[in-house]
Amino acid sequence: MDRFGETHKAEKVLQITGLTTRQKVLCDIMWDLDSHENVDAFIATLPARDARDCRTLIEMMRLAFTDQIDSTDLAKSMLKDILK
């Protein structure tokens, strides 16, 4: 769903439940930035609490994205080789 409430069929959306309004705003801002460097620069401008929240939110986004991966065969194979 875009900012105007339109849902696009091909678009995949990360869903993280239980966020505060402030955390949602931080996620939206970071999502719109075009590089990791710009995200880091944005976080550097924030008060310590918000910066900490951003780092936690980034990790939550990574985990949510990982949960959405359809095929994990390669990862399973690699883990099997590592754990031998």
C-alpha closest to that of 51 among 65, 37, 39: 39
Contact by Cβ (8 Å): 3, 12: no
Contact by Cβ (8 Å): 53, 26: yes
69 compared with 32, residue with greater pLDDT: 32
Domain count for the chain? 1
Q: Is residue 10 part of a domain?
A: no
- Domain range for 51 is 21-82
Contacts (Cβ under 8 Å, ≥6 apart) of 54: 26, 30, 39, 42, 43, 46
pLDDT of residue 83: 67
Q: Is residue 77 part of a domain?
A: yes
Share of the chain above pLDDT 90, in %: 43
Q: Is residue 12 part of a domain?
A: no
Per-residue model confidence as pLDDT tens digits over 26-58: 999 998 998 999 999 999 999 999 999 999 999
